[in-house]
Amino acid sequence: MAQIGIFVGTVYGNALLTAEEVESVLTEQGHQVTLFEDGNLEQWQVYAERVILIITSTTGQGGLPGNILPLFQQVKDKLGHQSALRYGVIALGDSSYDTFCGAGHAFDVLLQEQGATLVGDLLEIDAMKYPKPEIPACRWAAQWGVLL
Ligand SMILES: Cc1cc2nc3c(=O)[nH]c(=O)nc-3n(C[C@H](O)[C@H](O)[C@H](O)COP(=O)(O)O)c2cc1C
């Protein structure tokens, strides 16, 4: 079973609610899961050789929510290669924006550049289609947890 750190980016709380539900699914599978609402670099580094799940919405025009932006910048500026890290991404967004799920994709691009391994597929959740993002997220998490 894996040790998983869930790092959340949220403005209005949808991604946090989603993360709490996903945490339950993964815990029920036997994983050891910790959720970070305002995660910092020190907490991130605990998972450097473990598993990180990013669950973030997108704000502005493709921007990262304020509670996860500092962490993104620090991972970008202070960490180099992260080849032992395995990660997943659940990106909440709205397909009426050109920058659909931009924050989740920004994390994915950064971690790919740093040599981390994406487990499974990045999940995009469109608010236009899913008023309850936790439903597709939990379905995805049940399959993702098995891959770890
Ligand atoms: C002001 C504002 C800007 C947004 N900008 C984007 C965007 O650029 N791209 C996108 O995919 N979704 C965008 N969204 C949609 C949100 O990401 C989506 O509603 C999400 O479910 C919000 O989750 P949260 O409550 O965790 O912040 C925006 C929403 C608002 C209110």
If you average pLDDT over every residue of the chain, what do you get? 98
Looking up residue 52, the CATH number of its domain turns out to be: 3.40.50.360
Domain containing 17 equals 3-147
Ligand 1 within 6 A of CB of 15: yes
CA of 14 to the centre of ligand 1 (A): 10
Question: Over the stretch 33-55, which tens digit does the pLDDT of each residue have?
Answer: 999 999 999 999 999 999 999 99
To test the ligand 1 pocket, which listed residue (6, 7, 10, 11) has its Cβ within 8 A of the most ligand atoms? 11
Question: Over the stretch 11-41, which tens digit does the pLDDT of each residue have?
Answer: 999 999 999 999 999 999 999 999 999 999 9
What DSSP assignment string belongs to 47-80?
TTTSEEEEEE--BTTTBPPTTTHHHHHHHHHH--
Label residue 146 exposed, middle or buried (CB < 10 Å: 0-12, 13-18, 19+).
exposed
CA of 2 to the centre of ligand 1 (A): 30
Ligand 1 within 6 A of CB of 92: yes
Number of domains the chain contains? 1
